[in-house]
Amino acid sequence: MAHTNVLLREDIDDLGARGEIVRVKAGYARNYLLPRKLAVQATASNVKQIEQERSALLKKEAKEKTTAEEQAGLMKSLRLSFTRKVGEHGILYGSVTSMDIAEALKERGYEIDRRRITLREAIKETGEFTVPVRLHREVTVELPVEVSAEGGAKAATETTAAAATAPETGTESDAETTASDAEATSATAEEGGQEVGNG
């Protein structure tokens, strides 16, 4: 089967990075890469043009990588929170998708294509998650995402925690009361004994 060399204008998964010259099947180049301007034919006749374009692509690549690294540095302090209606066992009625995360990032001033948010499947339960966001082929930031129940999961947690500690507090209080009652009973018994003795 015929093959040809092409210069990649874009990163293509499982094929190569922008600026690389790769060998592919002629039909794949002719029917897919070239019409979509994802690559240009790398022939002996256009080698000079190819080198110029490759140089420009590599400069662009380096600039984009630097920008992505700067953006990653800014995003490291980010933490996204979502509130959803929850059914039994903490399962969400809706879900949190890559689109939701992209929208939340946009509100914070970060324009990120949702396809760069590598969420394998939508989040369908409450809890804390780490979602990788690929800013560049070589730059990925791990984004903390918290999903809580509508109506304030934190408040509910605090109430539960308070309820859990309440019996301990009550036990101490009851113990003190019991001790006081015992002292009072003892004192009364002593007084009663004196009265009987005097009578």
Residue 185 domain-assigned (yes or no): no
Q: Specify whether 43 is located in the same domain as 90.
A: no
- pTM confidence score: 0.56
Which CATH number is 31's domain given? 3.40.5.10
What pLDDT, in 10s, does the model give residues 46-96?
778 878 888 888 898 899 899 999 999 999 889 999 998 888 777 888 889
pLDDT at 199 over 70: no
Percent of the chain topping pLDDT 70: 75
**Rounded-to-integer distance, Cα 141 and Cα 143, Å:** 6
Instruction: Name the token pair of 140.
Output: 């990925």
Q: What domain range is 142 assigned to? A: 80-153
Residue 43 domain-assigned (yes or no): yes
Question: E strand or H helix at 133, and its extent?
Answer: strand 127-136
| Structural domains counted in the chain | 2
What is the reported pLDDT for 51? 82
Q: Specify whether 112 is located in the same domain as 56.
A: no
Q: Specify whether 91 is located in the same domain as 128.
A: yes
Averaged confidence pLDDT in the chain: 78
Q: Facing residues of 81 across strands?
A: 146
Residue 195 domain-assigned (yes or no): no
What is the reported pLDDT for 101? 94
What pLDDT, in 10s, does the model give residues 121-159?
899 988 899 999 999 888 999 999 999 888 754 434 333
